[in-house]
Amino acid sequence: MLYGAECWLVKNSHIQKLKVAEMRMLRWMCEHTGKDRVRNEIIREKVGVALVEDKMREVRLHWFGHVMRRGSDAPVRRCPQRIARRENYGAFLMDDLPLVKSLVKKLANNLDVPVSCKIRVFPNLQDTLKYAKMLEDAGCSLLAVHGRTRDEKDGKKFRAKWETIKAVRDVVRIPVLANGDIRHMDDVQSCLEKTGADGVLSAESLLENPALFAGYRTAEWGLSTAGIKGDDKLDQAELLIDYLKLCERYPAPWRMIRSHVHKMLGEWLRIQPSVREDFNQQSKLTFEFPYDMVNRLRELGVSVPLYVKGTREEALSTNGDAA
């Protein structure tokens, strides 16, 4: 919401934490404790408060209209990680399409919310098209397609097959979201034009630059492009500060926070490896350390701005075509 993204994952664990916190508050309001053996449903009925899931659904619908949270209604078949192979889920369910079909059909017939699916493609185009049609026929209402096979894990080595996503879009009647090679807003526009998709997804690029959908890009995609200029008002350190403030309000595991710090400040820490080593050596982190680390990097003169696309006149001037 801060930087242009329109939908994100809310995990079931987040909802469970909200449920616990809310029930503590409701019991306090009703002057009950856990020892009173009064069921949560009775307290909720007494106060007249809806379930957390229902309230979150209303908020999401208010924000985004038809966009729903991807929760238990969205089978995830894209994950090519080793644990997915071992536990037989994610993209490795592609080896058992009858099972996939039965899962989607079961959900579609028993849920009162739309079922969405996210897939990777097969090496053979026709296999991918049959896969997409099978999901649609089973009851899938929205299909996200990552244009790489499950073996193509390195996004920098393997380009996403946008032409395959377009072929899927042409054979199904349900909305299709394109995933793969979305590094900045020019990619968003190109992907939508070339695939005909109804929307796009981004993963790795957003971890490095959460402001991608607000029009910002990293130096890798800014310095060599005409009409692109540095923005002195926003950089990844500012994005990290925003993220840390959110984590203080909505607690997250430190292992996740560490990972996001490395993603957002990767280039900054490469310039100052001693700061990176100090960060890695912290066995027990508090919020004070990453805040101080940002200040330390700035004091050391590290400045890696994000870039924004300028006006047409600026682009012409950069190319030397302006009068």
For the chain, domain boundaries:
1-67, 88-202, 217-308
CATH number, span 88-202: 3.20.20.70
| pLDDT at 94 (0 to 100) | 87
| 20 Cβ contact list (under 8 Å, min separation 6) | none
Q: For residue 316, what pLDDT is reported?
A: 34
CA atoms within 13 A of residue 201's CA, in its CB half-sphere: 19
User: Is residue 63 predicted with pLDDT exceeding 80?
Assistant: no
| Residue 93 identity | L
263 close to 208: Cβ distance less than 8 angstroms: yes
Q: With 50 as the cut, is the pLDDT of residue 92 above it?
A: yes
Catalytic residues: 79
Residue 72 pLDDT greater than 60, yes or no: no
Tens digits of per-residue pLDDT, 135-152? 999 999 999 999 999 888
What residues are paired with 178 via a beta bridge? 145, 200
Q: Residue 220 has what pLDDT?
A: 76
Prediction pTM value: 0.68
Separation of alpha carbons 92 and 90, rounded Å = 5
Q: Angle of helix 185-195 relative to helix 162-171, nearest 10 degrees?
A: 50
What is the crossing angle of helices 12-29 and 52-64, to 10°?
120
**Is 206 or 25 the better-scoring residue by pLDDT?**
206
Q: Which residue has the higher pLDDT, 47 or 75?
A: 47
Mean pLDDT of the chain: 78
Across 25-49, average pLDDT: 62
Average pLDDT over every residue of 97-110: 90
**Taking 60 as the threshold, does the pLDDT of residue 312 lie above it?**
no
- Using pLDDT thresholds of 50, 70 and 90, give the confidence band for residue 157: confident
The mean pLDDT of 266-293, rounded to a whole number, is 95
| pLDDT at residue 30 is higher than 80 | no
Q: Considering the chain, what percentage of its residues have pLDDT values greater than 70? A: 65
